[in-house]
């Protein structure tokens, strides 16, 4: 007996392009002899293949580090010329 393959589950992703962007995409794909779907999948492959389990800490967004503009910090570090 032949073993049955596990059925793959697929998810859909939608996004919109302007008419100019779509024309550009089609022209690029025609020059490269590929389809828009194949091109997009090829370009996002690194993000869809490598992060299925865990994301490295270097890829996480960090909090805003511009604390030098906080009001409390400004009062402490503002030079006073008249002292």
Q: Which of 49, 43, 45, 48 is nearest to 28 (CA)?
A: 43
| Distance, CA of 70 to CA of 66 (rounded, Å) | 8
Q: Is the pLDDT of residue 30 over 60?
A: yes
pLDDT value at residue 36: 96
pLDDT value at residue 44: 92
pTM across the whole model: 0.59
Mean pLDDT for the stretch of residues 25-52: 93
Mean pLDDT for the stretch of residues 43-59: 84
pLDDT value at residue 17: 96
pLDDT value at residue 4: 87
């Amino acid at each position: 007996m032949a073993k049955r393959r596990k059925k793959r589950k697929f998810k859909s992703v939608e996004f919109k392009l302007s008419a100019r962007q779509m024309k550009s995409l089609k022209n690029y794909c025609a020059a490269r002899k590929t389809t828009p779907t194949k091109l997009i999948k090829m370009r996002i492959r690194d993000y869809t293949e490598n992060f299925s389990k865990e994301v490295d800490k270097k890829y996480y967004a960090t909090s805003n580090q511009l604390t030098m503009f906080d009001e409390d910090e400004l009062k402490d570090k503002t030079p006073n010329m008249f002292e």
